[in-house]
Amino acid sequence: MKQFVLSALTAICFSASAEAGVIFTDNFETPVNNMNWQVYQQISGGEWTATQGTGIEIQTSGVVVQAHSGNQYIELDSDISRGGSGNPALSNSAMTRNLTGLEPGNYLLEYFYQPRTGSQNDNTIGVYFDGGELFSNLLDTADGAGANGWIKRSVSFFVGEDNATRRLSFRAEGTENTLGGFIDTVSLQYLGRSGQSIVAVTEPGSLVLFSFSLAGLGFASRRRR
Ligand SMILES: [Ca+2]
Ligand SMILES: [Ca+2]
């Protein structure tokens, strides 16, 4: 039933605008990691760059968990060995992608998240849009301790100006112990100018309230600024 509602909402958004389309998808399958896990300063042909911490760790499916898609997934609380750089104590890493030429309208970011450990404040993945006053503090504090399997996260946002540039970042947060949240299968869709904005839709259903409260957090932080 939830899947049906999500599909129906998406269909409404797409039918409302002929301009809708996929900005990018990434399953994190390049570069191919043949050592079970490696840390990179750039991945996906340079689309993502490490902008904090020791680097972007790619793990092979089955080393810790099964990949959500393909044969690889990402961990951002990264070990410094096998390609890492910087201070080994600062293992919480960020990967950033530049988004240029964005049209005004509604966007939908989707990705899959899974916690590695059962500890609180250990698996957080923050999601940021820098350079835009609306979403400079968009933060997904998915902790997920105790959860099993991949959790679909969906966050929608609005870009108001023409030809906008944004920096999309995923960032590990919490305890720095080289063990953190996993991400895989990321996509960004443009829903069009007239598409009805989805405030937040996520699976499982218990996380919907969490997402709505996140939206509230964003408003609160903007008021403080
Ligand atoms: Ca993958
Ligand atoms: Ca951690």
Res 217: pLDDT = 41
CA-based nearest residue to 31, from 79, 90, 82: 82
Sign of CA dihedral 217, 134, 166, 184: positive
CA of 82 to the centre of ligand 1 (A): 20
CA of 144 to the centre of ligand 1 (A): 20
Q: Which of residues 186 and 18 earns the better pLDDT score? A: 186
Per-residue pLDDT for 64 more than 50? Answer: yes
Domains of the chain with bracketed CATH: 25-201 (2.60.120.260)
**Contact between 177 and 91 (Cβ < 8 Å):** yes
CA-based nearest residue to 54, from 10, 20, 94, 24: 94
DSSP state of 91: -
Per-residue pLDDT for 184 more than 60? Answer: yes
CA of 93 to the centre of ligand 1 (A): 19
Per-residue pLDDT for 81 more than 90? Answer: yes
CA-based nearest residue to 68, from 27, 22, 7, 117: 27
Residue 157 — pLDDT band, cuts 50, 70, 90? Answer: confident
Does the pTM of the predicted model rise above 0.85? no
In this structure, which ligand is nearest to the CA of 78?
A: 2
**Contact between 192 and 18 (Cβ < 8 Å):** yes
CA of 69 to the centre of ligand 2 (A): 23
Report the C-alpha gap between 44 and 27 in whole angstroms.
9
Per-residue pLDDT for 79 more than 90? Answer: yes
CA of 131 to the centre of ligand 1 (A): 28
In this structure, which ligand is nearest to the CA of 172?
A: 2
Considering the chain, what is the average pLDDT of its residues? 80
Neighbours of ion ligand 1 (CB under 5 A): 27-28, 67, 69-70, 72, 184
Report the C-alpha gap between 106 and 45 in whole angstroms.
27
In this structure, which ligand is nearest to the CA of 77?
A: 2
DSSP state of 33: P
pLDDT, tens digit (0-9, with 9 covering 90-100), for 84-108: 999 999 999 999 999 999 999 999 9
Query: Measured at the alpha carbon of residue 10, what is the angle toward residues 147 and 65, in degrees to the nearest 5?
Result: 25
DSSP state of 32: P
Share of the chain above pLDDT 70, in %: 70
Report the C-alpha gap between 62 and 129 in whole angstroms.
31
Per-residue pLDDT for 129 more than 90? Answer: no
